[in-house]
Amino acid sequence: MPIQIEIISPEKVLVSREVDMVVMPGAEGDIAAMPERAPMMLLLRGGVVSLYENDAVTDRFFVGGGFADMTATRCTILADKAEPVSEISIDNATAALEALTEAWDKADKTDISRLDVLQDKILSVRAEIEAGSSAS
Amino acid sequence: MASLKELRARIGSIKSTRKITSAMKMVAAAKLRRAQASAEAARPYAAAMRRMLGELAAATKGEEGAPRLLAGTGQDKVHLLIPITSDRGLCGGFNSNVHRLTLQTINKLQAEGKTVKLLPVGRRALNFFNREHADLIVDKVIGFSGKDVPFSVASGLGDKVNALLEAGEIDVCTLVFNKFQNAMTQTPACLQLVPMVMDDAAAKADAASTTADDAAQYEFEPDEATLLAMLLPRNLQVQIYASLLETAAGENGARMTAMDNATRNAGRTIDSLSKVYNRTRQTNITNELIEIISGAQAV
């Protein structure tokens, strides 16, 4: 029995089809969505979402954080930013990482919430670069 | 009566005006289609967001210390108005409708003794409110319309609103923008962002469509409060983004209509001027003939 997966970014719907399993990067560890799963809402960190069909990965998407809404029959991923792994631009990501690192150096080290936000962003961009270089 | 030469010059200039307006109309029509497509493409995200928020709000209902984005500051003193217009003019009453509604709202709020702050989006709004209420402007966002609206504009704006709210500088936040009805009609409307107004009917409809397969209780990871705290700012950005997209589509629709009218008016003016031109030419020829004939008879 398949599960309906939707990956939606603010600009458009990237995927909407049926797959066997979806593995996504939860904020507290990777989680797989499979049919008949108990409903769950999940915060995502930056990382790669893999779609499985017949025990093989058919598609991989990079998401830059977001939310997932899983039920027994469907899985909706609301991504802040999403793109197929094959289309990641490593140059852009590297530039973003440099800008973020600079922001980190300049940031007020006592402002914990700001540092948290920056750290999440840096980890997300690092994951993007890693995903991009493993694909090419 | 104007001379033939003057008439010719006027007809020529109106003809080139007509060329420009009809070109602008076609450009606006092409851009309208793009803008409408991107507004359509952004809808599923907003719908899914609303569904998740509905679930979360239900799960956290009755708990103390709801986030400010959801419940507001508990006060109703300082209002932030965000009028959204285009950067360019030449689109009929599109921008002035937003200006008028914003001014009305400002006057009403001030009459009630509330403090009003402004955050104009779009160059037209900025220029207008710099003249009218320069002292109320706290921030601005300009220089994106006419192109595809990137989500980063909306997220930046959302962060600004959130920062003002967290700093306790505003209590209520309202968007004033043109709702896109169709290419011909855009109606200015107010949309309150903070505190959040739950659209009960829509939430119910969403809930009803999901209850069939979601009968079981949701799990949340991390806990509800953290998720809600992450989801709310995002929802704010999404709502702003939707209104920016509607503005972009509406701007092009309004410009298309305005330029269509202008092209038609130019055509009509050319027709009537050509009539005057021909009649004047005819009169001149007749006059010359009469002079020649009467001259010949005198000899």
What is d(CA B116, CA B173) in angstroms, rounded to the nearest whole number?
10
Q: Is the pLDDT of residue B210 over 70?
A: no
Q: How many CB atoms lie within 10 A of CB B152?
A: 13
Contact A8 B221 (CB under 8 A): no
Band of pLDDT at residue B16, cut at 50, 70 and 90: very high
- Across the interface, of B38, B49, B231, the residue whose CB is closest to A11 is B38
Write down the residue that tokens 């058919």 correspond to: A58
The two structure tokens encoding residue B49: 């967001």
Domain boundaries, chain A: 3-85, 86-135
Contact A78 B230 (CB under 8 A): no
| Homologous superfamily of domain range A3-85 | F0F1 ATP synthase delta/epsilon subunit, N-terminal (2.60.15.10)
Q: Is the pLDDT of residue B204 over 60?
A: no
Bridge partners, residue B221, by sequence: A42
Is ipTM > 0.90 here?
no
What is d(CA A42, CA A77) in angstroms, rounded to the nearest whole number?
9
Mean pLDDT over A80-107 rounds to: 86
Per-residue pLDDT, B264: 96
Q: Which positions ≥6 away from B113 have C-beta within 8 Å?
A: none
What is d(CA A38, CA A18) in angstroms, rounded to the nearest whole number?
18
B218 contact residues in A (CB cutoff 8 A): 39-41
Band of pLDDT at residue B216, cut at 50, 70 and 90: low
Bridge partners, residue B38, by sequence: none
Per-residue pLDDT, B265: 96
Q: Is the pLDDT of residue B215 over 60?
A: no
B214 contact residues in A (CB cutoff 8 A): 39, 71-72
> What's the per-residue H, E or C state across B51-68?
HHHHHHHHHCCCCCCCCH
B56 in contact with A, Cβ within 8 Å:
yes
A39 contact residues in B (CB cutoff 8 A): 214, 216-219
The topology (CATH level 3) of B28-210+218-258 is Pyruvate Kinase; Chain: A, domain 1 (3.40.1380)
Per-residue pLDDT, B205: 53
Top mean-pLDDT range of A41-45, B48-52, B204-208: A41-45
Mean pLDDT over A19-37 rounds to: 90
Band of pLDDT at residue A127, cut at 50, 70 and 90: confident
B214 in contact with A, Cβ within 8 Å:
yes
A37 in contact with B, Cβ within 8 Å:
no
Per-residue pLDDT, A93: 86
B129 neighbors B119 (Cβ within 8 angstroms): no
Distances (CA, A) of A30 to A25, A44, A122, B98, B234: 4, 9, 18, 47, 22
Nearest residue of B to residue A79, measured between CA atoms:
B45
The CA-based dihedral angle spanning residues B65, B69, B70, B74, taken in that order and rounded to the nearest 10 degrees? 60
Helices (H), B42-167: 43-59, 68-71, 94-111, 123-132, 151-166
What is d(CA A39, CA A3) in angstroms, rounded to the nearest whole number?
13
A75 in contact with B, Cβ within 8 Å:
no
What is d(CA B247, CA B115) in angstroms, rounded to the nearest whole number?
27
